[in-house]
Structure 1
Amino acid sequence: MFNYNVINLCKHLHRYLIVVDDVWDQPTWNTIKCAFPEDINGSRVVVTTRVEDVAAAACQNDGEGIYKMEPLSEQNSRMLLLNRVFGSKHDCPPHLKEVMAEILKKCHGLPLAIITIASLLANKETSRKSWESIRDSLGTQLAINLTLEEMKSILNLSYMHLPAHLRACFLYFGMYPEDRDILRDDLVRQWIAEGLVSNLHGHDLEDVGRSYFNELINRSMIQPGRIYREEVVSCRVHDMMLDLILSKCDEDNFISVAYNYNDMARLHGNKYKVRRLSVSSVAGRGATYAPTIDICLSQVRSFTLFWTRLPSLLLFKYLRVLRIEEHSQGQETTLDLTAIGQLFLLRYLYVTVRCSVQLPAELQGLVYLETLDIPSARLKSIPSDIAQLSRLSYLDIRMEKFMSECIGNMKSLRSLVIKSVELSMKEVNSVKVIMGLGELTNLRTLRIGVNGWKKAEHDAFAGSLAKLHNLKSLNFSTGYTGWTLRIGVAGWQKPELDTLASSLAKLHSLKSLSLSGRCIEEDNQLGSLSNPFPHLEEFIGGYSWEFRRVPVWMGGLNCLRILELRVMEASTQEVNLLGQLPSLVVLWLWTSHIPKERTILGTGLFPVLKRLQFWAEEDVGAYLGFEAGAMPNLRDLTISTSRVPNLRDLTISTSREHGAIPVGLEHLYRLETVYLSRALPRDAIVSSAFRDALSAHPNHPSVGP
């Protein structure tokens, strides 16, 4: 698959730079290099490896092509450790300086070793005795030379210092293959299904699971992956850490991993029963399972499948967790999962495949099922009794024309994600269906797409919404837009919008609200609510929902961290209103018209803002200025055209040719990035002007593209 993709890529690119990371042996490199054409066009391939023979082979034994990474210097090692432990490069208490130097000496300048030990120290008392205990645990043998096995002993030390409730959760990463991007919320639901998350009185199980995830990141046991709106939503596991995990799993019989028939045969002959099994690419595509492994599978409680054929599900009579990713269906166009109706202990089902999925006609026998997550597959049909699953708490079925009239029976639902609800179907009572949503009073998250609604359905939805007092996240639009689902409001008139606004104002637990659909708010109640959403952390109006002015009630959202807002016009007073929000970290502000007077952002405004996007159809540069002390934490600045800009940038957009530069950029002390993307014939001139303006900036921010 790698070679096929690379060959196609190289065909379509005149020149390319490709990085092949962490090649372990020469046969692997010999296979990979066949994908690269032997032409002379200035392209480059960079290979990283820990094996000198692989490096020599990749450079055709040309020593000049090998760059050996040197360990960190003593100074940089100290800075890395102090920054992780104390949040500063210099603040080491005097009583710890000597023992810190001894610990760093044993790490030999290896970043992974330093970060791992520093994360361990960060969770210990800052006493000399505590630090000496960690130093002594590293052993005297590390003082001479840090071998691979000794590096593993450092990682093992961090594992041994994990609290008991985190150890099993950490080992559970052994269910995933190497270099996998692991989604946080999906992982947490697996932990819950496995019984690995403590049921703390008064705390939501998923919130507790997320706290476990964050603690493992803070301890550097796992690495942050994707960051979405200032929150880590996925992670990766370093390959050396994964080696440690798999060795511990093998010692404790916690997880069994199989890659081929020999592995399966080994598991069959194992004196221990296989409880959790992860299978990746068994014998390649189109493989079948030998009858001898039936006994091996009969005791499995959790089964995860990557890129290979699915054995008969009837073998897994005690299965609780089933996860199927990129199933290798060969010539089949449908993944047959009808047998899951016989897995009476199943708690968790996740399927993401490219083919169609056939579920059984009925699921009522799955009385323990908590998660039914099929986000990207094409379902042929929905089980007729899905609403009778009394324990189901998470449902994600992105299928057209689905909603059961019995949905109100699903009292345990906490998260509901449905691609599209087309209530024009004759076989359902649309109003009854929508009114059933109001019975789901345990709902925390609602993401749903709708089509074909009339006034009766609008009113029913607003009435149901007002009953969902525990709702924390509501995303809605007229259809499926990327990976976020939203319920839509396109076509709603003022009476319907007023009713919707009245219902939204009753959702006092709401933390995230997303509105999407072609709507211009002029004279409805949504723009003039009275102190709504006391706990709101995220408001996503985005480009498609336009307010006439900045709603006054937004000035009272003291918990608001993320704001995406489009307005017809934003006055200086309204911008200052947003600037007083104490928790705002990311702001996207679109405005159709710029006032004539210049807006100067004064001292103390936007105290914690890191990213700002300011888009307009007029010259923002001439409109905006910064005083000393404004936006003291701003990192990223992007100046863009009318296209929807990059989420991670601060964006000031303009479509006029002349375009002035905002005054006071030198006052944005922490500015790191200025990104320019303008629909102007003189982009190079504008970029040069910004570089000149920022040449004396103490932080030397980069300017692109």
Structure 2
Amino acid sequence: MADGAVNFVLDKLTTLLLQKASLLGDAYGEFEEIKLELESMRSFLKDAERRKERSESVQAWVRQVREVANQVEDTVDEFMHYKDTQRDKKGLKEFVISLPKNIAARQKISSKLQKIKATVHEVSERSKRYAFDGNIDEGRSNNASIDWWWQHQGELSNFIEEDEIVGMEENRRNLLKWLTEDDPRRTIISIVGMGGLGKTTLVTKVYSDHTIKKHFDCSAWISVPQSYGVEELRESMIGVEELLRSMIKEFFKAEQVMVPNNLRSMNYRQLGEMVIDYLHQKRYVIVLDDVWSIDLWSRIRGVFPDNNCSSRIIFTTRNVNVAISVGPGGHVHRLEPLRETDAWTLFCKKTFWNDPGHSCPKALEKSARLFVEKCEGLPLAIVAIGGLMCSRNKTVVEWKKVYDSLNWQLSNNPMLERVKGIFMLSFNDLPFYLKHCFLYCCVFRDGYPIKRKKLVRLWVAEGFIIERKGMAMEEVAEDYLTELIFRSMIQVTETNDAGRVKTCTVHDVMGKLAVTISEKEKFCVSYDGPEATLEGKIQRLSLYNRGVNIRLGRTLSHDLRSFFVFQTDVCCSFSLSAVSSNFKFLRVLDLQEVLTETIPGALVNLFNLRYLNLRETKVKELPKSIERLKNLQTLDVRNSNVKRLPTGISKLPKLRHLLLCPDNFRNSESSYFLCGMQVPAGIWNIKSLQTLSCVEAEEELIQKVGNLTDLKRLDVTKLRTVDGPMLCNSIQRMTSLLRLGVMARTDEELQLEALLVPPSFLQKLTLVGKLSRLPHWLGSLANLTHLYLGSSRLEEDILLSIHALPLAFLGLKQAYEGRLLHFKAGWFPKLNKLNLIELIRLDTVIIEEGALPRIREMYIIRCQQLKLLPQGIEHLTSLQKWHLE
């Protein structure tokens, strides 16, 4: 974690020194010296992170590095705020009045820089006293022990108890089939899933099956330990050579032949040739267990001859990218958690092993099911916790005590060490920037569905995202999320109609271990207790408001970067009076659904605030001097009582997301955009703006909104017919637009024919209002996945113009006044969800065989002339949900 803090600070310092050199003045040398010291420390950090668990002195040094890196980052932020404030002051009179204050501020920052520079130098010197650079290999086992571990890991796996093979029979049959099927090609089979799902257990039982032993001429099981192999695979051929030596030893051992004496001295080429010669005319099966690196297959694939003998190679991995990196022609099998009944059976087998029927006592069933629910179908966790509980007294009180202390048990109880170790391997393999992003999920409660868009904006606000040329920060953050999902660190809980991640969560057991790491590192702390005063160097705080009095001490407020309040008691309100200028380094303030009504004026003193969420609060008014929040990136006041925005909104130079109206498109299309809000003049000058949702269409806004060429989402309400051509002219300039919503005023017509070249990347389109005909450009939207038409009252055949679009969602509400909807064969090849609502004259729906091949959900609501079921409904074999009202 400390290496992450240092890397982020170095990135910020480099940007500062390159881009802001003219502003730094005398401070340039100070920042340069700090940067050089941090760079020298970074070289020791990687090894120190690996060794800190075994050394209290190293652990203390890593903590000091992290703290000093955070201090440097705060000082950089404060210095840039001071410089920006100076630059904004205009006029001699204002400058003279503020001169004493400016001198004092500059002296304070200069003094702080000197202290931090001394602290950085002292921490750097301390690393030399620990002699990190003199004993880099201390954290590794010697080569002999590694050889033993690799060579015997497959043998050790054979001692898995049969009790642990529950709910895997179908997976076992599939794997046996792929191994023995009549295909002469060399085939790679990848078994993918998060740590603890039973990948190794499954492969072990199939690998040791007598059918497999007879089917293949030779076999080898090679485990790839993360703590040694992965790093070398990335940096040199050492790890690959060790893999090959282990494989050769397996082959020779099976034939009871002595291993060559010179095996240790052979290089990669010699070892590879020996493997090729051995396998040349054999049908072989090789298991590569727990593969971490994508590079592995590219480096060793040449030693496995494709000899048309039906040879097989099995990968087990936690990373989807590793599984698919082997190329086409193989099998990628994603292992899923156990079903509820199988999870219960496994838990009872492990917990009540001495009962002949493995049955749970009636008095303990409720408690036992809570444990099973916590494990979320993860066999490793079920087996470990079952083993823990079998030694406990069979009383409800004792079981509740263990359940309530499960966080502590997972981190400290030796019986659960295997669970902790498996998950720590996954965490340790993350690059520094993904470690921060993963631990950030700890700010949310257990099982809380984390929304993708919100998480992405939070990561950007926190500064976790490393810029990539040609990509928006949010796009890079989306890549981070995808990587965490592919690494099985984050689970997808809901997707939208196009299959894109909508909400996600962290597996309960992994989440508890993440919370332990997070609290130990002071990265994030959750508080859900009685009245107290919170102190200490905590960077992120999640507070569960139960109406008790929580005081935030000064030491806490100084270091706090993010503050989340979760409303758990609907009868109590929350006061923001604690949020004052003491929180000057606060970046994130999230009060969603909290019953607070006022925002204190001191909020504008939070110069570093980048994310302000007041969604679904009772707040009525924003501070008039909100323009002082120069770093604000996201302002969310959806479903709040805010009716008007202060004029200062248009003076926020870094604003990226302005979210104003109810986000209820999914549940109530008819009210979409009804609560649009006027925005102050000049909003079109904020070049960084990406989301503008949803705003009332005023003439000047419609005319100038095209200046926002980087805008990704625009929702406009109350559009007049005469303003349609002007809006079209602005939309043509917004080439990055992904989502567009336009709603006409009551009894006015949408006039959008003037849009000659629509945004080519547009994915979601909502049009609410009377249309004389569908816009001519609609059929050319090659990336459109969501289309909603409301109150269009069209008489023309809508489907004829849009049937070839790659739509995943189509919603028609009061949009069509014809009598027939005819879905022809081949139409809407990707549609997942279809909503037909209040089509008042519709009396016939025909679905030909081959139409809507992927449809999963269909809603037919208040189409009162429709007396018969759709003809051809039997052809929709993929339909899962059909709602008639």
Q: Normalising by the residue count of structure 2, what TM-score does the alignment of the two structures yield? A: 0.51
Query: Counterpart of 1:655?
Result: 864
1:310 aligns to 2:515 (yes or no): no
- Name the SS for the 2:779 alignment partner: helix
Does residue 1:412 correspond to 2:654, yes or no? yes
Query: Is residue 178 of structure 2 the alignment partner of residue 103 of structure 1?
Result: no
**1:443 and 2:689 matched:** yes
Deviation at 1:606, TM superposition (A): 1.3
- Runs of 5+ in structure 1 lacking a partner? 1-67, 84-88, 136-141, 255-273, 421-430, 451-456, 477-487, 642-653, 678-705
- Within a 5 Å distance, the mapping from 1:198-237 to structure 2 comes to 198-230=466-498, 231-237=500-506
> Which structure has the highest strand share of the two?
1
Confirm or deny that 1:179 pairs with 2:450: no
Q: Distance in 2 between matches of 1:326 and 1:82?
A: 52
Per-residue CA deviation, residues 120-172 of structure 1 (Å, 9 max, x unaligned), is: 153325799x99xxx9xxxxxx99x9534445554444434444432332222
Identity value in percent: 24
Q: Go from structure 1 to structure 2 and tell me whether the alpha carbon gap of 1:469 and 1:436 turns closer, same or farther (over 3 Å shift).
A: same
Q: Within the alignment, does 1:630 sit opposite 2:847 as a pair? A: no
For 1:609 and 1:630, locate their aligned partners in 2 and report how far apart those are by CA, in whole Å: 10
Name 1:246's counterpart in structure 2. 515
What's the secondary structure of 1:105's corresponding residue? helix
Matched, 1:475 2:715: yes
Measure, in 2, the Cα distance between the counterparts of 1:359 and 1:342.
16
Q: What's the CA shift for 1:613?
A: 1.8
How many angstroms apart in 2 are the aligned matches of 1:162 and 1:561? 33
**How far does residue 415 in structure 1 lie from its aligned partner after superposition?**
0.8
Number of the residue aligned with 1:579: 803
Whether contact under 8 Å (2:809, 2:833) holds in the other structure is yes
Counterpart of 1:319? 560
Cα separation, partners in 2 of 1:579 and 1:119, compared to 1, 3 Å = farther
SS at match of 2:318: helix
Report if the CA contact (8 A) 1:393-1:415 is conserved: yes
Partner of 1:288: 532
Which stretch of the first structure deviates more once superposed, 462-471 or 228-237?
228-237
Give the 3-state SS of the residue equivalent to 1:470 in structure 2. Answer: coil
- Answering whether residue 322 of structure 2 is matched by residue 124 of structure 1, we say yes
Q: 1:434 is matched with which residue?
A: 680
Letter paired with 1:446: L
Cα offset, 1:516, TM superposition: 3.6
For residue 664 of structure 1, report the CA deviation from its aligned partner: 2.8
1:563 aligns with 2:787: yes
Q: What CA distance in whole angstroms lies between the structure 2 residues aligned with 1:633 and 1:606?
A: 9
Aligned residues of 1:224 and 1:234 also touching (Cα < 8 A): yes
Distance 1:458 1:557 in 2: 27
1:201 partner letter: K
Report how far residue 462 of structure 1 moved. Answer: 1.2
In the alignment, which residue of structure 1 is the partner of 2:880?
Answer: 672
How many Å separate the matches in 2 of 1:372 and 1:237?
24
The separation in 2 between residues aligned to 1:127 and 1:392, in whole angstroms, is 40
- Cα distance, 1:448 vs. partner? 3.5
The answer to which of 307-316 and 435-444 deviates more is 307-316
Counterpart CA distance in 1 for 2:744 and 2:849 is 39
How far apart, in 1, do the equivalents of 2:711 and 2:190 lie? Answer: 53
Residue 627 of structure 2 aligns to which amino acid in structure 1? Answer: A
In the superposition, relative to structure 1, how do residues 79 and 473 fare at CA in structure 2: closer, same or farther (>3 Å)?
A: farther
Q: Report the equivalent of 1:602.
A: 824
* Shift, 1:246, TM fit: 3.1
Report how far residue 200 of structure 1 moved.
2.1
What is the Cα deviation at residue 99 of structure 1? 9.1
Distance 1:441 1:81, change over 3 A: farther
State whether residues 348 and 372 of structure 1, in contact with CA within 8 Å, keep that contact through their aligned partners in structure 2: yes
Q: Which residue of 1 aligns with 2:384?
A: 147
1:383 matched residue in structure 2: 623
Contact 2:318 / 2:487 at 8 angstroms: preserved in 1? yes
- Relative distance call for 1:526 and 1:360 in structure 2 (3 A) is same
Spell out, residue by residue over 1:388-441, the C-alpha distance to the aligned partner (whole angstroms, 9 max, x if none). Answer: 322111112344343233333212111112359xxxxxxxxxx99633112122
Alpha-carbon distance, 1:578 to partner? 0.5
Q: Distance in 1 between matches of 2:191 and 2:565?
A: 48
How far apart are the structure 2 equivalents of 1:90 and 1:389?
67
Using a 3 Å threshold, how does the CA distance of structure 1 residues 497 and 158 change in structure 2: closer, same or farther? Answer: same
- For 1:412, the aligned partner's letter is K
1:197, distance to aligned residue in structure 2 (A): 2.2
Specify the alignment match of 1:649 in structure 2: none
Q: Which residue of 1 aligns with 2:737?
A: 510
Conserved? CA contact 2:796–2:818, under 8 Å: yes
Output the CA distance in 2 between the equivalents of 1:588 and 1:329: 35
Q: Which amino acid letter does the alignment assign opposite residue 515 of structure 2?
A: L
Letter in 2 for 1:120: R
Which one-letter code corresponds to 1:246 in the other structure? V
Partner of 2:411 in structure 1? none
Q: CA deviation at 1:587?
A: 0.7
**Partner letter of residue 688 of structure 2?**
N
Amino acid at match of 1:634: I
Structure 1, residues 662-684: CA drift from partner, whole Å, max 9, x if none? 3333433423333222xxxxxxx
Counterparts in 2 of 1:526 and 1:95: CA distance versus 1, 3 Å: closer
The answer on whether the counterparts of 2:447 and 2:506 sit within 8 Å (CA) in structure 1 is yes
- For the pair shown, the structure with the greater C-alpha radius of gyration is 2
* Preserved contact between residue 585 and residue 606 of structure 2 (Cα < 8 Å): yes
> Which structure is higher in helix share?
2
Q: CA deviation at 1:564?
A: 0.5
- Residue among 278, 283, 294 paired with 2:526: 278
Question: In 1, Cα distance between the equivalents of 2:878 and 2:183?
Answer: 21
Partner SS, residue 406 of structure 1 = helix
Distance 2:509 2:205 in 1: 17
**CA shift for structure 1 position 201:** 2.5
AA aligned to 1:664 is G
Instruction: Supply the AA of the counterpart residue of 1:276.
Output: C
Per-residue CA deviation, residues 455-509 of structure 1 (Å, 9 max, x unaligned), is xx82122123222222110123xxxxxxxxxxx30xx543234433433343222
Once the two structures are superposed, the pairs formed by residues 515-594 of structure 1 within 5 Å of their partners are 515-516=742-743, 519=746, 522=749, 525-527=751-753, 529-541=755-767, 544-566=768-790, 567-572=792-797, 574-581=798-805, 583-591=806-814, 593-594=816-817
Q: SS where residue 715 of structure 2 aligns?
A: strand
1:72 to 157, 161, 167: 167
Q: From the superposition, tell whether residues 233 and 98 of structure 1 become closer, same or farther in structure 2 (CA, over 3 Å).
A: closer
* Superposed displacement of residue 629, structure 1: 2.7
CA contact (8 A) 1:502 1:525 kept: no
Tell me by how many angstroms 1:219 deviates. 3.4
Q: Assess, with a 3 A threshold, how the Cα gap between structure 1 residues 406 and 178 changes in structure 2: closer, same or farther.
A: closer
Distance 1:503 1:275, change over 3 A: closer
The separation in 2 between residues aligned to 1:538 and 1:384, in whole angstroms, is 34
Which residue matches 2:94?
none
AA partner of residue 630 (structure 1): A
Describe the superposition over 1:639-672 as per-residue Cα deviations: whole angstroms up to 9, x where unpaired: 321xxxxxxxxxxxx202x612333334334233
Q: What whole-Å deviation, never above 9, does each CA across 1:509-560 have from its counterpart, x for those lacking one?
A: 21111234654564x531453232222110122xx52323322211111111
Q: Give, in whole Å, the separation in 2 of the partners of 1:91 and 1:340.
A: 70
Runs of at least 5 residues in structure 2 that lack an aligned partner in the other structure? 1-162, 193-197, 207-288, 293-314, 336-378, 386-415, 663-676
Please list, as runs of the form range in 1=range in 2, the aligned pairs for 1:153-192 lying within 5 A after superposition. Answer: 153-192=421-460
Which of structures 1 and 2 has the larger relative contact order (alpha carbons within 8 angstroms, sep 6+)?
Answer: 2
Residue 836 of structure 2, aligned match among 598, 614, 626: 614
